[in-house]
Amino acid sequence: MKNQIAAASGFCFGVKRAIALAEETLGQEPLYALGPLVHNPQEMERLNQLGLTVVADIEAVPDGAALLIRAHGASPAVYAAATSKQLRLFDATCPHVRQLLRKAADFVQSGYQLLIVGDASHPEVQAALAWARGLATVITGPEAIATLPLSERVAIVAQTTTKLDVWEAVLQELRSRTTDPEVGCTICHATKKRQQAAQELSKQVDIMVVVGGHNSANTRNLVQLCSEIGTPTHHVETAADLDPAWFPAGALVGITAGASTPDWIIKEVVTTVENMENKNNELMEETTEQKTEEVQPEAEKQVEEATAAEATPETECQEAPCQCEEQAAEHTSEGEEAEEAEQVEETTDMADVAGDMVDIRTGQIVEGTVVRVTDSEVYVDIRYKSDGIIQANELSNLPNVQPADVVKEGDVIRVVVLRLENREGNVVLSKRRADAEAGWKLAEAAFSENQIVRGEVTEVVKGGLIVNLFNLRAFLPASLVDMRFVPDLGIYVGQEVDVKIIEMENNRRRLVVSRKAAIEELEAERKEATWAALEEGQIIEGTVQRLTDFGAFVDIGGVDGLVHVSEISWGRVNHPSEVLAEGDKVKVKVLGLDRERERISLSLKHAQPDPWTLVTEQFKAGDIVTGKVMRTVSFGAFVEITPGVEGLIHISQLSNERVERTEDVVSPGDEVKVHILNINPGERRVSLSMRDPSAPRPERTQSGGGGERFERRPRGGRSQSYHEEGSVTLGDVFGNLFEQEEEKDEKDPENN
């Protein structure tokens, strides 16, 4: 028969702490307890002998005496009465129970309909009800929810020792009836581990023994869980309850214990089970010897008869003992080895469990597993006698982070031990400081190698920004944020930026970084790569950096090139701002490179199709189109009919009447309708007209001499009369020709 002990069994931290506090106090003065510290009669008897007095009501405690609040917690009325009676209070409320009480009070205060999963008669649940001002409903399982009227806002918590399968079934039923209930995870993770360990062990053994008080809720839960596996399970309070008939020879026995079971009772049970095995072995040996003695006389008689009948086998029999002794020796040796191996296998896990516990000290960095995450703290299993706790402000360097955003249950993290025990008995830990230790080493390596590293801007402070770099707070001065002055540093908060570490103070753990230095280095690398790849005739993308009267500077990859105002558009541009704005993404063509002077000539218009190559596809002679007057001259006006294509309206084509000054009819910026008279793409010329071909010719009038005449508006607005009686002036004959020549002179000044 072999036995194994569940990895997680016996006193939980809360009970162990309460008993340790009682023992320490009882060594100095009498102590009262409001109810039994543990649901174990034997352990309570031991404490009573040490001088602990258990009372059912706080009024039974003398004024000024010492009162211990047990791990199950107490109602607000108890604390008020203790204050009025001037009692010296020793509060041993379990941290997990304290969390349950706090959540119960908060949910009710926030207006939720509160459900508590658990045993309504259990002191822990009674305390939770008191903190909820009696406004909560206690349920035992999912079946209670089916008939329960639910409000729109429902919250639920659980007794810390609630079975996990019951809790999950309740949540499933609740979520089927209401949307997004508020769930307070208050089941003690030690309870989870104890239940899971008991279930796993039950699957591996032939018999389970659960040690604990019959009035202990968590012990009863263990018995039920093990029984549900199908393994024969026996619930005992002490070793005296063990029955040898339960343990057949060769059976594998599993042993676990509830949270209210002291180690000394568990050891007694383990020792008794082992002794039962030895007794069974002794009984088997005695039975074997008796049978041997009964058979031996008959065997001796048979040997004597055989000896008398045959004399010759004597020699053979003299040699036989040698073989028998060798076989016996071999058998004995094998038996001892098997027995020794069996003894090794039968050793309990008590030593293993104790060996797994670690010794820690303040300032030490240890590794642990996250077992529970709440809104304000994180519980971590660091393989110590009590769990560690990390407050929200010790989780990260980032401001205003929620614990659930940093870690989740099951994460393995590194933490620094700040204190071995707080008021609730937990080890106080810091993940932030452990991360900073590791981060400082990374920062030292980056600083020594002059690396560019990336961090997140978390806040604006006086004189600059704070950057979270390797989980360290690094200071970025305002003057080093960018190449130019930045008036509003708030735009960087939440952004990731590239920086270089320029100062490190080991003693003060102070970091100063520069984004400007990183930008300069990156820009130098970009610039070098750009110059190496640039060639004349390339069409590349760039960003407009700044505008001047004579053009625009465009960044084409760490290098600025100039687009002259004449190269911005195929049309006429008076100022670059008419077409471009800083920050615009544009395509430009490389016209020229001066590598020695680091100058680049760019063209925006040559990166676009020449509109004159498309003009015949867009227009034809006779079309009436709308255009914009771009400028006026003495002989007419130039009108843009499509971007980059301008046509001339000769002064004679501005109106059906004679026009002396172009400005009398049109001005720059006017939108006008024009007729296309002629298109010549080769010479990049378009002739336009604003005359109405359907309008009647000027009326003729009689002159004073009896001849007909027609009036034309003279220059300066005066009217002139022309006789039709054959008297035609030279101006009438050559006037149009002079005007056409004047137009040619304006367009081609080189011919003058």
DSSP annotation of 462 reads T
160/122 Cα distance (integer angstroms): 11
Beta bridge partners of 719: none
Enclosing H/E stretch for 700: strand 700-702
Sequence-distant (6+) residues with CB within 8 A of 494 are 456, 457
| Coil, strand or helix at 348 | coil
Residue 201 class from Cβ within 10 Å (0-12 exposed, 13-18 middle, 19+ buried)?
Answer: buried
Are 70 and 36 spatial neighbours (Cβ–Cβ below 8 Å)?
yes
Verify whether residue 124 is a known catalytic residue: yes
Half-sphere exposure of 64 (CA within 13 A, CB side): 0
Beta bridge partners of 67: 32, 89
Query: Which amino acid does the sequence have at 551?
Result: G
- Cα torsion for 702, 705, 707, 710, to the nearest 10°? -50
Closest CA to 461 of 448, 444, 473: 473
Query: Which amino acid does the sequence have at 12?
Result: C
For tokens 């320490």, the residue is 24
Query: Which amino acid does the sequence have at 162?
Result: T
- Cα torsion for 254, 258, 263, 265, to the nearest 10°? -80
Using N-to-C axis directions, what is the helix angle for 95-109 and 13-26, rounded to 10°?
110
Using N-to-C axis directions, what is the helix angle for 217-229 and 189-202, rounded to 10°?
30
- Rounded to the nearest angstrom, the gap between the alpha carbon of residue 105 and the centroid of all alpha carbons in its chain is 30
Say which of 24, 29, 59, 124 is annotated catalytic. 124
Task: Find the radius of gyration of the CA atoms of the chain.
Answer: 51
Tokens of 168: 């999950």
Residue 717 class from Cβ within 10 Å (0-12 exposed, 13-18 middle, 19+ buried)?
Answer: exposed
280/99 Cα distance (integer angstroms): 49
Are 570 and 614 spatial neighbours (Cβ–Cβ below 8 Å)?
no
- Rounded to the nearest angstrom, the gap between the alpha carbon of residue 190 and the centroid of all alpha carbons in its chain is 27
| Coil, strand or helix at 368 | strand
> Any idea which residues carry the catalytic annotation?
124
